[in-house]
Structure 1
């Protein structure tokens, strides 16, 4: 029986590549991220089992993750690759809060739910 993985932040970069690698190794893979068009593009390439649009900064994100786990039929591995970052030399508070919300609170929400 194939193992099942959820990859959060699968719309680009490391998350996308991990999703592809797991699928190529025979895992059933559910992907998630904010950008629906990128999720659909990855699904269209084949190998991915299901997807869910999830913004980790949303209060609804944990419930949406549970929906994705249900679609996949369970989960053996959760891979979190959702995050943002940029140079903020002026320490703009809005940028710092968005980074904290995504990388701190979003990570904690998702890992706690998984």
Structure 2
């Protein structure tokens, strides 16, 4: 695809976050993406920052009402407020997916 590591970090971070947002097993997504991260960036001195940039947004995106954790939150909400809670969680998820991965990539991108 490309040899530019910043672009690859960008792609992997957003892909991991997007997949974790809709897949019920975030651990499964992370176990799929982590070997790619280590293969691409394995020689980097800033591996912990790169790994955190890819994993942290994925862990934050589990609040989506499509994800199992978000569904549990909605199900434990009072029945009269479930629709509002679903909309709130969906709004939060739509803001997390495009913004948080970009913010977590700032420091590793500067270091690369």
Q: TM-score, normalised by structure 1?
A: 0.34
Name which one, 1 or 2, has greater alpha-carbon Rg.
Answer: 2
1 or 2 for the larger relative contact order (CA 8 Å, sep ≥6)?
Answer: 2
Report the TM-score, using the length of structure 2 for normalisation.
Answer: 0.34
Between Structure 1 and Structure 2, which shows a larger proportion of strand residues? Answer: 1
